[in-house]
Amino acid sequence: MSEICPQEVVYQSLMPEHPQQLGIGIIGAGFIVRDCQLVAYEQAGFRVVGITSRTRSTAEEVAKLRSIPRVFDSVGSMLDDPDVSIVDVAVPPATQPAVLRAILDHPRKVRGILAQKPLAMSLDEAREIVSACRKAGVALQVNHNMRYDQSVRALKSLLDRGVLGDPVLATIDMRAIPHWMPWAQGGRSLSTFIMSIHHLDTFRYWLGEPARVLASTRPDPRTKFEHFDGINLYILEYDNGARASSWDDVWSGPAREGASPDIGIRWRFEGTQGLALGTIGWPGWPERVPSTIDWTTSQDGGVWHRPRWPEAWFPDAFAGPMAGLMRAIETSTEPDISGRDNLHTIALCEAFLRGAREHRVTVPKV
């Protein structure tokens, strides 16, 4: 075994040159904002101007906890503030499109929007939002923060350098129990647009656009409200021969019903010249559990490299999408997880649902 410095793989996001110059307004005050995004923003030196929420008392509580200087009474009053350059939207998926339209329709235009994933619950509505942002000249970034998980990013750096050779097989094995928020009930999708969207987007980040999708799903026995997609299994086929597969097991056995738990997320990437194994730390939240990567390659005699770092996806990686948006604004370029890029991830979600319902191979179409 060989211990190497984390710097030998790129696992951190690039930061903007002048983060204090772009004031951030936050819409929403849920636990992801309170305990992940705002914590990460403070660590990164980002400047949060103010916050608003459906319930003012909740916004006031979060503002006090995280030392945010202003609480706005409404989205409109936030947008009136000339110090707000970027709006960070953190509301449920079903209500997000209306909030985004309100931002774009406001007389004073902000420079950028960070939207939550999924951007919308349908491809048609997502296309409409992307088009509206482009016409308004507002940069749109989508908060696919798993791309900024340290092990996911470290693997991407190896792939970009060709260290593992040509891709052969990538797999994610998730055995974890999400906490479904109340807004998850009654939608057209449960696991696909809330959980599997992370892994589908990560496969795109690693491998690009798949040609075909094979999908299967069944309801989660623990989730009592009606839903179609609980435990999701899928295979992505690529024209270059690569394959990717994930088991998104939100049941994970009767761990909440008295059996001993076996909770965790492991990933594996096999190339023609190397192999990488990884873990994802978020199931350990609220404990800080760093993700990991171990990799070996025939190029250096098969030594195992095991870099380690103190940062964790929750909360540290949540600075990444905002940093990407800020860099895009600074350089007048498209954000790294732009709305246009995100259309491909939503198309993958749509292909999964279509294939699972119709029991057939599907082709993602943007």
- What is the DSSP track for 73-110? SSHHHHHH-TT--EEEE-S-TTTHHHHHHHHHHSSSPP
Where do runs of H (alpha helix) occur along the chain? 31-32, 38-44, 56-66, 75-80, 96-105, 123-136, 150-160, 191, 197-207, 319-331, 339-358
In a domain, 185, yes or no: yes
In a domain, 259, yes or no: yes
Q: What is the dihedral of CA 208, 211, 212, 218, to 10 degrees?
A: 20
pLDDT at 288: 94
User: In Å, how far are 17, 72, 80, 86 from 56, measured between CA atoms?
Assistant: 33, 8, 18, 21
**111: Cα separation from own chain's centroid:** 22
Q: Domain check: are 165 and 121 in the same one? A: no
Apex CA 129: angle with CA 204 and CA 363, to 5°?
40
Q: Is residue 6 pLDDT above 60, yes or no?
A: no
* Domain total of the chain: 2
Q: Domain check: are 59 and 137 in the same one? A: yes
Residue carrying structure tokens 């797999």: 171
Q: Domain check: are 180 and 303 in the same one? A: yes
Mean pLDDT of the chain: 96
Q: Domain check: are 155 and 104 in the same one? A: no
Residue 118: is the preceding peptide bond cis (ω within 30°)? Answer: yes
The string of pLDDT tens digits covering residues 47-87 is 999 999 999 999 999 999 999 999 999 999 999 999 999 99
Crossing angle for the helix pair 123-136 and 339-358, to the nearest 10 degrees: 170
pLDDT at 2: 41
pLDDT at 358: 98
In a domain, 364, yes or no: no
Q: pLDDT-derived band of residue 247, with 50, 70 and 90 as boundaries?
A: very high
Asked if 8 and 305 count as a contact pair (C-beta separation under 8 A), the reply is yes
Q: pLDDT-derived band of residue 338, with 50, 70 and 90 as boundaries?
A: very high
DSSP 305: B
In a domain, 363, yes or no: no
Q: Domain check: are 313 and 169 in the same one? A: yes
What is the percent of the chain with per-residue pLDDT over 90, rounded to a whole number?
A: 96
DSSP 2: B
Residue carrying structure tokens 């088009």: 131
In a domain, 8, yes or no: no
Residue 209: name the closest of 218, 201, 197 by CA.
201
For residue 163, what are the domain limits? 148-317+345-358
Q: Domain check: are 233 and 354 in the same one? A: yes
Residue 365: name the closest of 341, 348, 340 by CA.
348
Q: Which residues contact 259 (CB under 8 A, 6 or more apart)?
A: 253
Apex CA 143: angle with CA 142 and CA 149, to 5°?
135
Q: Which is it for strands 274-280 and 292-297: parallel, antiparallel or unpaired?
A: antiparallel
Lookup: tokens for 14: 């690039």
Asked if 264 and 175 count as a contact pair (C-beta separation under 8 A), the reply is yes
pLDDT at 3: 44
In a domain, 19, yes or no: yes
Residue carrying structure tokens 């016409």: 135
Q: Is residue 113 pLDDT above 80, yes or no?
A: yes
Q: Domain check: are 156 and 99 in the same one? A: no
pLDDT at 8: 81
Q: pLDDT-derived band of residue 17, with 50, 70 and 90 as boundaries?
A: very high
Q: CATH number of the domain that 330 lies in?
A: 3.40.50.720
Q: Domain check: are 159 and 277 in the same one? A: yes
Asked if 342 and 147 count as a contact pair (C-beta separation under 8 A), the reply is no
Report the Cα–Cα distance between both ends of the chain, in Å, rounded. 44
pLDDT at 28: 98
In a domain, 365, yes or no: no
Q: Domain check: are 188 and 63 in the same one? A: no
The string of pLDDT tens digits covering residues 270-317 is 999 999 999 999 999 999 999 999 999 998 889 999 999 999 999 999
Instruction: For residues 3 and 364, give the distance between their C-alpha atoms in angstroms, rounded to a whole number.
Output: 41
What is the percent of the chain with per-residue pLDDT over 70, rounded to a whole number?
A: 98
Q: Domain check: are 167 and 306 in the same one? A: yes
Half-sphere exposure of 67 (CA within 13 A, CB side): 6
Q: Domain check: are 204 and 139 in the same one? A: no
3 state SS of 218: strand
Residue 244: name the closest of 154, 348, 133 by CA.
348
Q: Domain check: are 166 and 114 in the same one? A: no
The string of pLDDT tens digits covering residues 129-159 is 999 999 999 999 999 999 999 999 999 999 9
DSSP 36: I
Report the 10 Å Cβ neighbour count for 17. 10
Q: pLDDT-derived band of residue 266, with 50, 70 and 90 as boundaries?
A: very high
Q: CATH number of the domain that 302 lies in?
A: 3.30.360.10
In a domain, 138, yes or no: yes
Phi, psi (deg, nearest 5) at residue 175: -125, 85
pLDDT at 1: 36
